[in-house]
Amino acid sequence: MTTEYSGGGDPKRSLELLWGVQPAPRRGPKPKLTVEEIVRTAIAIADAEGLDALSMRRVADGLGVAPMSIYTYVPSKAELIDVMFDRALAELTPPDDVPGGWRPKLEHLARDNWDLYHRHPWLLHVSVVRPPMGPAIFAKYEFELRAVDGIGLTDVEMDSVVALVTGFAESSARVSVNVAEAERRTGMSDVQWWETMAPLLEQIDTGGDEYPLSARVGASAGMEYQGAVGPRHAFEFGLARILDGIEVLIASRR
C-alpha cells in the first residue's frame, strides 16, 4: 500500500485545482471530463479497493479515456490525491450545534473524524504535513477552534487541544482501519490469526515464563475485545482520558 505525498508540483496550480479556479480556456476541443469527475472516480476506487488500487491507468479506465488524458486535468497523481483529500475532509460537520459546552463538542469532532476515516480509509495512507490548502481544511480548522473558544485557554492551547483530539481520532482510527484491511487482505479474522499463531509460538523457545504479565493481561484483553486488539474500545477509553486531562487544564486556568 502506497503512502502518497502531496505538494509535488507547482503550488499555484495546486491551489487553483483545490479551489476550483479554472484557467478559462478559449480554443481547442471540448474537454470530455472535469476535474471533479476525475476526483469522484478516484475516490470511488480508493474507497472500494484501497489506495493501492488507485492508479492513473485505473482512473482513466473508469472514465473511458486513455491513461495520459488524465494529465490534461491534473499535473500528476500527487495533485490528484491532494484534491481527493480536501474533498473528503469536506464531509466533516461543524460541532456548533452540539449542545453542552466544549466537552461534547470535542467528542463530536473526535467521532466525526473517526467515522470519516472509516468511510475513506485511504485518507490514513496520505501524508498530510503541508496539507493541501483547500476550502475544506480551512473550514475544518476554523470550526475545530470554535469548539474550544472562550473557555479560558490561550491561543496556543486552543491549537494544541484540537490537534490532540483530532490526532488521537486519527491514530485510533488507523488501528481500527488496519485491522479491517488486514482481514480483507488475508481473508482471516483477528481471532483466527491468533488461533493460528498461538500453537506455532509454543513450538518456539520464547525463553520460558518471561512474560507473566503479558500472558495474564493479554488473555483478559483478548477476552474483552474478542480479538487481539479492540480499536473501538481503545478509542472510547483514550478519548475519555484525554478529555479528562483537558478538563484538568481548563480547571487550572480558572
Partner DNA sequence: CAATATAACGTACGCCGTACAGAGTTTCAT
Partner DNA sequence: ATGAAACTCTGTACGGCGTACGTTATATTG
Q: Give CA–CA dist 162/170, Å, rounded.
A: 12
CB closer to a copy of itself, 52 vs 61: 52
In angstroms, rounded to a whole number, what is the distance separating the alpha carbons of residues 178 and 50? 12
217 in contact with a copy of itself (CB under 8 A): yes
Cell numbers describing residue 1: 500500500
Quick one: what does residue 234 bind among a copy of itself, DNA, none, with the CB cut-off 5 to 8 Å set by partner type? a copy of itself
| Cβ proximity of 43 and 80 under 8 Å | no
Partner touching 85 among DNA, a copy of itself, none, CB below 5 to 8 Å by kind: none
CB 138 within 8 A of CB 230: no
The yes or no reply on residue 220 touching DNA (CB under 7 A) is: no
Contacts of residue 19, Cβ cutoff 8 Å, sequence gap at least 6: 134, 135
Are the beta carbons of 198 and 205 closer than 8 angstroms? no
Asked if residue 58 binds DNA (CB under 7 A), the reply is yes
Q: Which 3 state secondary structure label does DSSP give 4?
A: strand
**Contacts to a copy of itself from residues 137-196, by CB under 8 A:** 138-139, 141-142, 145-146, 149, 154-161, 163-164, 167-168, 170-172, 174-175, 178-179, 181-182, 185-186, 190, 193, 196
Query: 110, 165 in Cβ contact below 8 A?
Result: yes
Min separation Cβ 7 and DNA, Å:
12
Q: Which of 47, 69, 143, 151 binds DNA (CB under 7 A)?
A: 69
Instruction: Please tell me the distance from the alpha carbon of residue 53 to that of residue 78, in angstroms, as a whole number.
Output: 15
What's the angle, vertex CA 169, arms to CA 117 and CA 98, rounded to 5? 95
Interaction of residue 197 with a copy of itself, rule CB under 8 A: yes
**Mask 16-55, x = binds DNA (CB under 7 A)?**
-------x-xxxxxxxxx--------------------xx
Check residue 211 for interaction with a copy of itself (CB under 8 A).
yes
In angstroms, give the least distance from the CB of 118 to a copy of itself.
15
The nearest distance, CB 71 to a copy of itself, in angstroms, is: 21
Out of a copy of itself, DNA, none, which partner does residue 57 contact, by CB within 5 to 8 A per kind?
DNA
The reply to whether 65 sits near DNA by the rule CB under 7 A is yes
Partner in contact with 43, chosen from a copy of itself, DNA, none, beta carbon below 5 to 8 Å by kind: none
Q: Which is nearer to DNA, 80 or 147 (by Cβ)?
A: 80
Q: Check: CB of residue 246 under 8 Å from CB of residue 104.
A: no
Cα–Cα distance list, 194 to 12, 96, 199, 220 (Å): 50, 43, 9, 14
Judged by the rule CB under 7 A, the positions of this chain that interact with DNA are: 8, 23, 25-33, 54-58, 65-69, 71-73, 76-78
